[in-house]
Structure 1
């Protein structure tokens, strides 16, 4: 087996570091489909002969008007709405929608889904695609799916054979190596009133550290730091996470700095259904980035692939001329600024294991085949009732060759409230890719410096 030289220096663990049976790698014959009938990431390269086009390499060139400043302009300003899905015709399109999307349309008279031409803009740097192809015959699930071995910095399972492989593709997907963001989060009341919580957050993959050492902290996948900058009552509070790859072997390391108390403490509740930061009870910790963390509390069923209308190329939602008062409405965001397209998705169902606890007893995930990002997730409570609906309004960060989210929304069908995270319209310097960070900046000792008001 030929392994890339970065295999053991990739920020994840080799299979030999784990006990337990290893499964996952596909045959060389299967892997040979990558780059041919399949894209290098594992999507079907061909279109469907109708609405979904063939993948032609994705959007790699910035459009006119982009100033290389992290203020993303719409590369498709002349695209028009083909049709709109609303209460008058939702049943006609039901087979291409999730149960949660249908429920949102039926709950709100003014909720609609404007559908546009499908554009397969997703792409990654060539090195990431090359490493994905190598992962296909080497990456393996270990510890009953709670870790990955023989894996390097790319999609581990481009040809998945089970549901937990798909969830790992989402968790480990490439987001630029290191990036800093200035974003807002809102949790409107039922009448639409809101205040904005503002964050400075950073994701840095271990291999992107300035002082990266292959043998140092090999179970860490990435480092995450989040500083609240507004409102004043919360400003200065900091969350630090060392995201471990095998969180059963070693739980996620998390610390919080409370600016009022000027104190750093461990935060074991930053996992699973622990409360999300400053979210007013509207999301769990593992709702961030649509889903994150250890997969061990759920059974993961790969239901299959289907065509579905999902949020895509959502550049209108980051338009600098759009302010938060125009975007945030009662019950849901202003759907006039959304864009839905027909894409193929992987459907994965997560059901809570007997004896484990979580406020969500079942989740139905729909992952975009071109990116492995979760696009829509329906959440069910312990009674089996549909409770919350998450949508990720995705876009291609074309100057970085990074697919990611413009904003994430999580709708609560029972309370009529929701959370929107990742807002950038009114934020300065919303995205900074390629930030230089060292391991010293992601230590508990560094938290107090980050949290001074």
Structure 2
């Protein structure tokens, strides 16, 4: 991987961050844990400075951790090759908001904490990340919504099962033809396409789906549609809905897969880099329901020390996301796998609002008994994701794949499992009306 080119690690003050806070971030983590430790609410103080405030809240409320040795995470070889071939020609635009000259791979493999644009470059690396570059289709997964609490019994207040969590990238393709750019990009300017649905449960929501397009034009907001079975009509959504959780859910579309709103609509600040705990090599797939926090997370699971870049994202209130519920998102970015193991969001009063955790497994197949989704190299798979409202204690835990699922393979990444034709309003309506795959 290109990690060896990062050079001497140090942090800087950006945007008036206090020197004391800087020192806390720039010093190597004086780990209060070692491999073999088991973290519970009783000894949670050991990880207070090794996780985000939102993750620490979870540990205090029952999520346990098994501390294991750190493993190296390599990129998929095609993605690494594309980075070496194209990254030297990539730069930020004159307004320092978007990328110019990008083809495929990681746009900015050389991360320098002294670079005044380091925060923006970290976020663009997240946009074109190695976890997937061409297409993906997660088939059959389920989510439980609960109220968390230490030793609180599992009580489900809402349940959902969905048929697809799927995406198609038109730019930066590294494994499946057309490479490296789908010709449709020149005609439509779409960067990626996304579809969630149809809902298979609960019954009263069966068939509901969401379709979303992201554009390369900084001034072109996302196009988002939903099909609701009860209304039996296609509805165009206001862009602000992507940053708002609705119903008995704590998820919003901008955080389904880490930090995912339109990049140019936010201002970024680099807080520093630090050794912190994360799950990048999960033991379980499917994940197991945590028995000690009411089912709000996956535990016990393996956590290890990782080198993280820490960036804040604040919405530019003059653009389309002016109705965003979050005043700030703090992004914790793993410097090897380039996916955020967790993020914290803050409400408009500046108080901690929601924490999102993503448990990832590093292997050559998503589940041990896979027959089709098998790769000639290891790659990262998100096997669990949880969104926690720390103000109400409500949490939604999603299992990827579902605990009980008719589709054992679940994740199909960069295998051509879906194409552009899968991501049209017509296809979404047809699939939703049938109410199944």
| Short-chain TM bin | 0.7 to 0.9
How many angstroms does 1:115 deviate by?
0.8
Question: Which of the residues 379, 382, 392 maps onto 1:415?
Answer: 392
- Distance (Å, rounded) in 2 between the aligned partners of 1:272 and 1:143: 28
- Counterpart residue number, 1:168: 124
Give aligned pairs, total: 377
Report the CA distance shift for 1:422/1:447 in structure 2 as closer, same or farther (over 3 A): same
- Cα deviations by residue, 1:241-273 (Å, 9 ceiling, x for unpaired): 222234x32111222222233322222346542
Aligned pair 1:431/2:382, yes or no? no
Question: Which of the residues 199, 202, 216 maps onto 2:166?
Answer: 202
- Counterpart residue number, 1:116: 68
Matches within 5 A, 1:40-439: 82-106=36-60, 108=61, 110-120=62-72, 122-142=73-93, 144-160=95-111, 161=115, 162-174=118-130, 175=132, 177-182=134-139, 183-189=141-147, 192-194=154-156, 195-199=158-162, 200-206=164-170, 207=173, 208=176, 212-213=182-183, 216-217=186-187, 219-227=189-197, 228-246=199-217, 248-269=218-239, 272-275=242-245, 280-318=248-286, 322=288, 329-330=293-294, 332-336=296-300, 338-353=301-316, 356-398=322-364, 399-400=374-375, 401-424=378-401, 425-429=403-407, 430-433=410-413, 434-439=415-420
Q: Which runs of 5+ in 2 are unaligned?
A: 10-26, 365-373
Does the Cα contact within 8 Å between 1:302 and 1:349 map onto a contact in 2? yes
- Distance (Å, rounded) in 1 between the aligned partners of 2:411 and 2:8: 27
How many angstroms does 1:292 deviate by?
0.7
How many angstroms does 1:189 deviate by?
3.8
Report the CA distance shift for 1:123/1:35 in structure 2 as closer, same or farther (over 3 A): closer
TM-score, normalising length: structure 2: 0.76
Does the Cα contact within 8 Å between 1:240 and 1:447 map onto a contact in 2? yes
How many angstroms does 1:286 deviate by?
1.1
Q: What is the Cα-based RMSD across aligned positions, in Å? A: 3.2
TM-score, normalising length: structure 1: 0.74
Matches within 5 A, 1:15-34: none
- Cα deviations by residue, 1:202-244 (Å, 9 ceiling, x for unpaired): 1122255779425544522222112212222111122112222
- Distance (Å, rounded) in 2 between the aligned partners of 1:282 and 1:50: 31
- Cα deviations by residue, 1:267-315 (Å, 9 ceiling, x for unpaired): 2346542336xx6241222121021121344321112211001122113
